[in-house]
Amino acid sequence: LVPLPVGEPAKLDDEFDLYQLGEDNMLQRYTGRVVSASSEGPRLQLRLNTTLPGSGDGQAAVKGGSLVGLITGMGRGQEGTLLSVETIRRYLGDFTDGVYNGPPGPGLWVQPLLRDDLRAYYGLAEGQHGIAITRIMPGRTGDGALRVNDVVLAVDGYDLDDEGKFTHEVHGRLDASYLFQGRRYAGEKARARILRDGRIEEIEFELKP
């Protein structure tokens, strides 16, 4: 048996095959289609419509002979979630040097800036968008570089909106937590453009485990 190669990320409306072993130990094939994407910390997950009846998780999603994800759960009816290959690649790649670093951990409390009074309080001008830092956990990501009341406008070149979302080049709008936890390993550096005391600054900070 030859392991499947890890393929390219599945995009919105992409269709692929889903494989699982049935109760009779025969390999069964179904189909799935991506309807949306979401991120929760380090995990990038795709929501699916499938022809797969709800029956656990772990099924492989295959397109063009390559793995495009793993089913992590089945919801009501024929809905499911797929762990994207970006997350799978990152976990596998963490072992290549023999040292497991793991994903960066959370450490920031943030405030969306959807209301005009909040935008005025934090000093955002017309056309500026981002999220305000309200608390920083000591010793964790952002400590020593970010400050309470900073407004994060962009991370690693991705502009944030007032809800704390950014536009991913493949998956559309995702939560900014993916930029802090899902794209890099603990110990790596990230760059942010912030609004601090009315001035725009560029800072670099370590992503802590």
Q: What is the pLDDT of residues 146-173, one digit of tens each?
A: 999 999 999 999 999 999 999 999 999 9
Calpha distance 25→37 (Å, rounded):
32
User: Do residues 183 and 207 make contact, with C-beta atoms less than 8 angstroms apart?
Assistant: no
Give the pLDDT score at 174.
94
Q: What is the pLDDT of residues 83-126, one digit of tens each?
A: 999 999 988 889 888 889 999 998 999 999 999 999 999 999 99
Calpha distance 72→103 (Å, rounded):
19
Residues in CB range of 134: below 8 A, 6 or more apart: 109, 110, 111, 148, 149
Give the pLDDT score at 136.
96
Calpha distance 123→138 (Å, rounded):
26
Tell which wins on pLDDT, 1 or 125: 125
Reply yes or no on whether the pLDDT at 55 is more than 60: no
Under the banding of pLDDT at 50, 70 and 90, the label for residue 54 is: low
Average pLDDT, the chain: 90
- Encoding tokens for residue 35? 């309807």
Express as a percent the part of the chain with pLDDT over 90. Answer: 63
User: Do residues 101 and 186 make contact, with C-beta atoms less than 8 angstroms apart?
Assistant: yes
Under the banding of pLDDT at 50, 70 and 90, the label for residue 19 is: confident
Give the pLDDT score at 59.
83
Under the banding of pLDDT at 50, 70 and 90, the label for residue 144 is: very high
Closest CA to 48 of 22, 75, 8, 87: 75
